[in-house]
Amino acid sequence: MRKESIKILVMSLFFVVFIIVGYILSLYITTLSSFIFLVWVLFLVMIFFFIIIFEDLSTVITRQLVHIASRRNKKHKKISDNSEYLSLFTHEMKNGISVIKGYVYMILNDEKLEKGLSDEVKKYLKRVDISSSKLISLTDNMLNFNKLKSGLFELNLISFSMSSILSDAKESFKGFAEEKNITIEYKNTLKDGEDIIKMDRFKIDEVVSNLLNNAINYANNNSTIYIKLEKKNADNILVSVKDEGEGIDDNDTLEIFKKFYRSSNNTKGGTGLGLYISKSIIERHKGRIWAVNNKDGRGGATFFFSLPVK
């Protein structure tokens, strides 16, 4: 209300000043005095209407803009509510899976406890561990997918050893590989320290897990999976995961990195998110990821990713 009355007061003052100026002008230009005064008043009336119309329009426009903004805010709020719920949900879920993995570890790594177990029980416990790891990986993919979708995806960069990620991954997938009698070999051709690069170590870990998981899924029984870490050029390191299995349909080597894409010869299940997320993670690191079918006659495919050293 206060604001409105100030506006009216200022407007009326302007009008009074304009009319006085018009009157004085008409006194000086005596020949056309009454005509000029009339034009002046008409001009003022036009401005007056123009202001009223403009005021009205601007209120409508403002109201509309506010409306759109609030709708957008609501939508944004909904997204962040969803991600928050998903974060809490996955937190609880992963805590639970960590407990399962933790106790399995304690049973299998305790001399006294382990002694009392038959080989069969040990085998089953290892399977519990493998399945738990798969669930965690699935949850991570879902979480990262949601973050990518809502624009909340961020990297936590630290200097970390790529070699230790790869050798750790080799160890954690050993049990899963043994189920198909697959051997995992790891070779590092980099010099000491050359493998330390800036990265989000847990997200790169996820990429390696996705690639290894796929490799084991698609590899033939009794085959070998080769992980290799090497120099691509002066500015990049190159990681490759090679399997001896059915390979990729030639039309699919690019398509498999797309969201929800399922290869036509896919017989192994999966969510169709792993490679898409891996690609997003690598690209956020300013690296590249791609796949080729092996041409050495033993079948299978090799997945590569390169990451900048600096």
Partner 1 sequence: MKQMDIKDKKILIVDDDLYLADIYSQFFTKKGFFVVSAYDGEEALDKASSEEFYFILLDIMLPKKRGIEVLKEIREGSSPSKNTPIFMLTTLGYDDIIKEAFSLGASGYIVKSTLSLDQIYDEIDSFFTGEKIITD
Residues lying near partner 1 in the complex (CB under 8 A) are found at: 86-87, 90-91, 94-95, 97-99, 101-103, 105-106, 136, 139-140, 143, 147, 152-161, 164, 168, 172, 196, 201-202, 205-206
The CB-of-230 to partner 1 minimum distance in angstroms stands at: 20
Is-contact 278 210, C-beta < 8 A? yes
Q: Which is nearer to partner 1, 11 or 86 (CB)?
A: 86
> Tokens 């004085």 identify what position?
24
Angle (CA) 40-44-46 rounded to 5° is 115
Residues 6+ apart with CB under 8 A from 304: 238, 239, 240, 288, 289, 290, 291, 292
Neighbouring CB atoms inside 10 A of 127's CB total 14
Q: What's the CA gap between 167 and 155, in Å, rounded?
A: 22
CA distances from 131 to 138, 206, 211 (A): 10, 16, 17
Q: Which is nearer to partner 1, 80 or 189 (CB)?
A: 80
The CB-of-281 to partner 1 minimum distance in angstroms stands at: 12
Amino acid 73 reads N
The CB-of-136 to partner 1 minimum distance in angstroms stands at: 5
> Tokens 């009336």 identify what position?
45
Per-residue tokens: 42: 């008409």
Q: Which is nearer to partner 1, 140 or 252 (CB)?
A: 140
Q: What's the CA gap between 51 and 204, in Å, rounded?
A: 61
Q: Which is nearer to partner 1, 58 or 82 (CB)?
A: 82
User: How large is the C-alpha radius of gyration of the chain?
Assistant: 35
Neighbouring CB atoms inside 10 A of 273's CB total 18
Q: Which is nearer to partner 1, 79 or 86 (CB)?
A: 86
Is-contact 213 241, C-beta < 8 A? no
The CB-of-135 to partner 1 minimum distance in angstroms stands at: 9
Q: Which is nearer to partner 1, 63 or 122 (CB)?
A: 122
Q: Which is nearer to partner 1, 116 or 297 (CB)?
A: 116
Q: Which is nearer to partner 1, 94 or 262 (CB)?
A: 94
The CB-of-44 to partner 1 minimum distance in angstroms stands at: 58
Cα diameter, the chain = 122
The CB-of-172 to partner 1 minimum distance in angstroms stands at: 7
The CB-of-84 to partner 1 minimum distance in angstroms stands at: 10
The CB-of-306 to partner 1 minimum distance in angstroms stands at: 22
Q: What's the burial of 79, exposed, middle or buried (CB within 10 Å: 0-12/13-18/19+)?
A: middle
The CB-of-72 to partner 1 minimum distance in angstroms stands at: 22
Is-contact 26 40, C-beta < 8 A? yes
Q: Which is nearer to partner 1, 156 or 221 (CB)?
A: 156
